[in-house]
A and B are shown apart, each in its own frame.
Chain A
């Protein structure tokens, strides 16, 4: 089973700052299978990035994804007030190889 580790657990930043979130896989994975989601309290997750770097429909270009192999990154170039949330990476492999990371909370400093 592929295990995803996310760091940091919590990221405290101010609006306008740059956020860099890390997702590390326990073994090399295809970048095609790496997705990112945003979740706000009381809401369902919202897809942000598919295939490590392709933004989902309607996602602003301040969100970008990169990486390959075991190391992947979600970057938010300039934090807007609505970006403070929890972010999950996901390995969307061939079932049953579908796992989520534990999440990174981005909160207001």
Chain B
């Protein structure tokens, strides 16, 4: 079955960077975008960006531009999200999420169908 398995929890100091992995299995890796979503403690969901695993080109939410980098490794079917210049407000659970439809689909409805288990990142001095 389709699975997204994320790397483990991280504790970082302000100003550092964090790199989270999302290893995929059970589907054809390069025909689905991958999204990253985060959730601060007690707060709602926030979309960070997405990557096209086929061509590798990412699209980032404006608030993360310049601080986030999304990459992929097609040899291991893994996507990565690096967030730099960490501050306390970046303390959150970070999720990868795969859409319902492939990047070639013309379906009229879509959304985030399969989610990773989440990775907790704590930023503290």
Write the residues of chain A forming the contact surface with B, with a CB cutoff of 8 angstroms.
32-33, 35, 37, 39, 44-47, 50-52, 54, 56, 88, 90, 92, 95-96, 98-103
Residues of A within 8 A of B116 (CB): 44
Number of A-B residue pairs having CB atoms within 8 Å of each other in the complex: 74
A88 to B37, CA, bound (A): 13
Q: How many residues of B contact A (CB 8 A)?
A: 26
Residue of B60, B61, B112 with highest tally of chain A CB at under 10 A: B112
- By the criterion CB–CB under 8 Å, are A44 and B117 in contact? yes
- Using CB atoms and an 8 Å cutoff, list the residues of chain B in contact with chain A: 35, 37, 44-47, 49-50, 59-62, 95, 97, 99-100, 108-113, 115-118
Whether B59 contacts A95 by the Cβ 8 Å rule is yes
> Are B112 and A96 interface neighbours, CB within 8 A?
no
CB-CB under 8 A for A88 and B45, given A44-B116, A47-B111, A50-B110: yes
